[in-house]
Amino acid sequence: MLLPDMVGTGGDSHTRFPLGISFPAGSGLVAFGATLGSMPLDMPESVLVKFTGTMQPGITLRDLVNAIPYAALKTGNLTLEKEGKINVFSGRCMEIEGLPDLKVEQAFELSDASAERSSSGCTIKLNKEPIIKVPQFKYSFNEMAHFRGLW
């Protein structure tokens, strides 16, 4: 599995981190974590989503989001019928490879969309170049948050 920069949780399925991995939790579990300063986390199984080739002109990030269930439908790992439903992503962490040069903002958007697949988390393998730009933003965000008394 890819090793994320941060691990966290949030109160709904679309709580994702730009440079880490987060898992959705019910409000009771989030309150438990806030009260005690830590929370139990069962690491889910993962499913590999591998893109091949290069992103062609005109292909949007939303096209990539839609390509994931489309490929799963074609291989029988996802069904549309309610009865006997198959969803390889449900409750699993999606590990996405093959898009190493996405901007961090694009990777965040793609990982956020993993909630649409009922995935419990998502991580994307990126080259270091797109990530190098982020610590400057991360530092200024942390500095601003500290200045405002958020931590």
Q: Give the range among 53-57, 82-86, 95-99, 140-144 with minimum mean pLDDT.
A: 140-144
- Residues 127-137: pLDDT tens digits? 888 877 765 55
| CA 109 – CA 14 distance, rounded (Å) | 10
Q: What pLDDT, on a 0 to 100 scale, did the predictor assign at position 44? A: 82
Q: What pLDDT, on a 0 to 100 scale, did the predictor assign at position 34? A: 73
| CA 30 – CA 37 distance, rounded (Å) | 10
Return the domain boundaries, the chain: 43-147
The answer, yes or no, to whether residue 95 has pLDDT greater than 80, is yes
Is 2.60.40.10 the CATH number for 43-147?
A: no
Phi and psi dihedrals of 142, rounded to 5?
A: -60, -40
Cβ atoms of 100 and 125 within 8 Å: the answer is yes
Sign of the dihedral through C-alpha 65, 20, 93, 1: positive
Residue type, 114: S
* Beta bridge pairs of residue 15: none
Q: Which spans in 54-100 are helix H?
A: 61-75
Beginning with the edge strand found earlier in the chain, give each strand of the sheet holding 46-50 in spatial order: 46-50, 93-97, 121-124
pTM of the shown model: 0.71
The answer, yes or no, to whether residue 138 has pLDDT greater than 90, is no
Query: pLDDT > 90: what percent of the chain?
Result: 34
- Long-range residue pairs from 29-38, CB within 8 A, at least 24 positions apart, any chain: 33/9
| CA 134 – CA 65 distance, rounded (Å) | 23
